[in-house]
Amino acid sequence: MALNSLSVRALRRSATIILAGGLLSGTAVAEPRSYTIDPDHFSIGFKVEHIGYASILGLFLKGTGEFVYDEETRQLVSGRVVVAADSAFSNHKARDNHIRESDFLDAKHYPEIIFEATGYTPTSPASGKLAGKLTLLGQTRPVSLDITLNKAASYPFGHGRHTLGLSASTTIRRSQWGMNYGVERALVGDEVLLNFEFEATKQNAQPPK
C-alpha cells in the first residue's frame, strides 16, 4: 500500500525527533554547583618591596568567598571574594596601623576589598586564568589570576563533603587604584604580589555514608 505525502512527512518528523533525542542523551549537561570557601582554610598573602632592600610579607586575616562552578564543563558562572581591609597583618604593629590608614588601604573609608569573577579559561586539566574586577579604595579595575587546582575529592574527615583545593596568584600595580604612597621615591614598591590558598566546599551535597 503506497504512503501518501502526509504520512511520509509524519514518518520523517518522527525519525528526526528520535535522532535528536538520542544525540541529546549522550551530551554532557552543565550542572553548576555552589561552593563556599572555608574561612578556616583561606590564606590571603601579599608581598611588596621595601626600599629595594627586601620584601615585606603579610596576610589579610579575614576573608570570605563563594562561587558557582561546573566541574564537568569547567565553566565558572560567578564568583565573589570579600576581604576585610583592616585585617592586614605584617607582624609589626606600627607598620600594620600605617597599612590600614589613608596612605595605603584607608580601611576606615573603604572597609572591604572586593573581587568579582567575570570568567574562567582553562589552560590545562588542572590550571587556568581567572578574569575579574578588583575594587580597592572605591575604584574598580580588571585583574587576571593564575589558578591551580590542587585536589578535588571528598574531604577525608569532618564534613566529608566534596572539596576543591585551589591556589591563585596575581601581581597588581597599586598605583592604578590611586595608592601612590612611596612609589615616586621607591620607598615602597608599586607592584604587589597577591597569593591565595583555599579550600572550597560544594554546597547542597550530602556527605558520603
Phi and psi at residue 108, in whole multiples of 5°?
A: -65, -40
Distance (Å, rounded) from C-alpha 78 to C-alpha 32?
Answer: 10
pLDDT given for residue 196 in this prediction: 98
Residue 135 Cα distances to 24, 89, 200, angstroms: 42, 20, 22
Which of the residues in the chain have pLDDT under 70? Answer: 1-30, 205-209
pLDDT given for residue 13 in this prediction: 52
Q: What average pLDDT does the structure give for the chain?
A: 88
pLDDT given for residue 1 in this prediction: 41
pLDDT given for residue 71 in this prediction: 96
pLDDT given for residue 18 in this prediction: 37
Cell match 573603604: residue?
Answer: 110
CB 166 within 8 A of CB 150: yes
Q: Which residues of 175-191 are buried (b: 16+ CB within 10 A; e: fewer)?
A: eebebeebeeeeebbbe
Distance (Å, rounded) from C-alpha 46 to C-alpha 130?
Answer: 18
